[in-house]
Amino acid sequence: MAELQTSNESGEMAQRFIELVMMQAQNAAYAMGQIPHPETGEAPVNLELARLFIDQLIVLRAKTRNNLSTEELGILNNAISNLQMVFFEVSQGAPAAGNGDAGEPPAPAAPSAVEGAAPAPEAAAPPAEESPKKFTKSYGA
C-alpha cells in the first residue's frame, strides 16, 4: 500500500511540475504580448520580463537534469523552444504566428488579436535582410 501512495504522490508531483512549467510559459507569452490583458484587451510587450521567465525555465531544466521523466522533459523543452522562437520574432518586430503549437495552449487563441494590434512594429522593421541570417541560429534543447 505504501507503493501505491508513492506512485500517486509522484504522479501528483509530475502534474504540479507541468503546471509550473505551463504557468511560467503563460507568463512569458503574456510578457511578449501573445495573451491580451483580460480587462483592457491590450497586449503589452515587455521583453525583459519575457526573457526573465524564459531564463527561469532554462535554469529549471538545468537544475532538474536527469531527474525528470521523458514527458516532463519533453514539455519543458517544447515550452522553452517555442518561447525562444516567439521571443526572437517579437524582438525583431515580426508577428509571431503559430507560436504555441506544441506546448502552450493559450497562445494559439491570442495571435489574431496580437497580429491585428501589431502593424506598427512590423512597419518599423525595414532591415528584413537580417532576418534570414538570424533564423539559422539554434535555440533550446
Tens digits of per-residue pLDDT, 23-42?
999 999 999 999 998 888 89
In a domain, 72, yes or no: yes
Q: How distant is the alpha carbon of residue 51 from its chain centre?
A: 10
Percentage helix, strand, coil for the chain under 3-state DSSP, each rounded to 5: 65, 0, 35
Cell numbers at 29, concatenated: 507569452
In a domain, 40, yes or no: yes
Distances from the Cα of 57 to the Cα of 13, 50, 87, angstroms: 17, 11, 14
In a domain, 48, yes or no: yes
Q: Range with the lowest mean pLDDT among 29-33, 49-53, 106-110?
A: 106-110
In a domain, 139, yes or no: no
Mean of all residue pLDDT scores within the chain: 74
Alpha-carbon distance 85 to 103, whole Å? 12
Query: 63-100: per-residue pLDDT in tens?
Result: 999 999 999 999 999 999 999 999 999 999 865 554 44
Q: How distant is the alpha carbon of residue 24 from its chain centre?
A: 8
| Total tally of structural domains belonging to the chain | 1
Domain extent, residue 118, equals 2-134
Name the pTM for this structure: 0.61
